[in-house]
Amino acid sequence: MCNIWNGDFPVRNTRADGYAGTAPVRSFRPNGYGLHQTVGNVWEWSADRFSPAGPERAMRGGSHMCHGSYCNRYRVAARTRNTPDSSAGNIGFRVAADVVPGLSPAAG
């Protein structure tokens, strides 16, 4: 389960996944590694440049605006680019942290 465009892109989003735009964190079950929403919802910024010569940064994972008839890149391996000054509403970032033994994720 992930948050992508459902329906006739870009005319009508049926919201079959429950959301017309971005979805709150933990809206869908985690994958087998305990990670939530690793695809869909928002493109995630990467620290990598898209190409050595250009200003664009690499983004991964697809967004809620991905659809089979449009970009069809809502998967972890998907990669695209954008400039760091972009104000697009379908771009975000992921925060990662080391797991502390004995500390539940809800408490941290």
pLDDT in tens, 5-47: 999 999 999 999 999 999 998 899 988 888 888 888 899 988 8
Neighbour count for residue 21 (Cβ, 10 Å): 14
Q: How confident is the model at residue 104 (pLDDT cuts 50, 70, 90)?
A: low
Asked, as a colleague might, if the bond just before 30 is cis with ω within 30 of 0, I would say no
Exposure b/e, 72-90, CB count within 10 A at least 16 = b? ebbeeebbbbbeeeeeeeb
- State the pLDDT at residue 105: 59
- State the pLDDT at residue 34: 85
For 47-84, the pLDDT digits (tens) are: 889 999 889 999 988 899 988 887 777 787 888 999 98
96: pLDDT strictly greater than 80: no
Residue, of 100 and 46, whose pLDDT is higher: 46
CA atoms within 13 A on the CB side of 78: 19
**Does residue 90 sit in helix, strand or coil?**
coil
Residue, of 101 and 55, whose pLDDT is higher: 55
